[in-house]
Each structure stands twice: as C-alpha cells, then as structure tokens.
Amino acid sequence: PIVPGHPVESIRLKKLRSRVEELVGVSNFPGAQPTSFCSKQIQELKNEDYYVCEQTDRTLVLAYITCDSPGNPAVFL
C-alpha cells in the first residue's frame, strides 16, 4: 500500500519508535483490538489521551502526532 509522505532517516526513525514505545508501553504495534465509542463517552474522550490506528485491507497504520519544535506540528505514520 502507498503511505503518504516522505521516509524518515534511520536515526530519526529509531528515536520516533523509541518515543512511541515509551508512550504506549509496548514494543510491538499497539491497537490490535478495535474499539468503538458512543456518544456517552465523549467527555472521557475529551479528558483522556487515546492512540488511534486505522486498519484497511490488513494494513495497520499508527499516526503519531507531535511537535518537532514549538509551533511546528508533525505527523508520522
């Protein structure tokens, strides 16, 4: 599958993977179990951090959204 964007150099990729592992507490791909939300959970969604993954045609993609520097948002897939 085609993933949009540009490849990340290997040193930066290692740092990004390490940071995601630190955040989610596992070294393998998080989000293997799909979860549905309903309207009564909106307040919880507003107050808590969540990791969002999409699965399409057996391809798993994790979006890591961060700031490279103050005021410079970045998205990594």
> Taking CA 37 as the corner, what is the angle to CA 29 and CA 58, rounded to the nearest 5 degrees?
35
Report the 10 Å Cβ neighbour count for 31.
Answer: 17
The whole-number pLDDT of residue 1 equals 65
CA distance 9 to 17: 12
Q: Which residues contact 31 (CB under 8 A, 6 or more apart)?
A: 51, 52, 53, 60, 62
Domain ranges of the chain: 1-23+50-77
The whole-number pLDDT of residue 54 equals 64
Locus of tokens 């009564």: 40
Which tens digits make up the pLDDT trace of 32-73?
A: 566 677 788 888 877 877 766 666 666 777 888 888 888 889
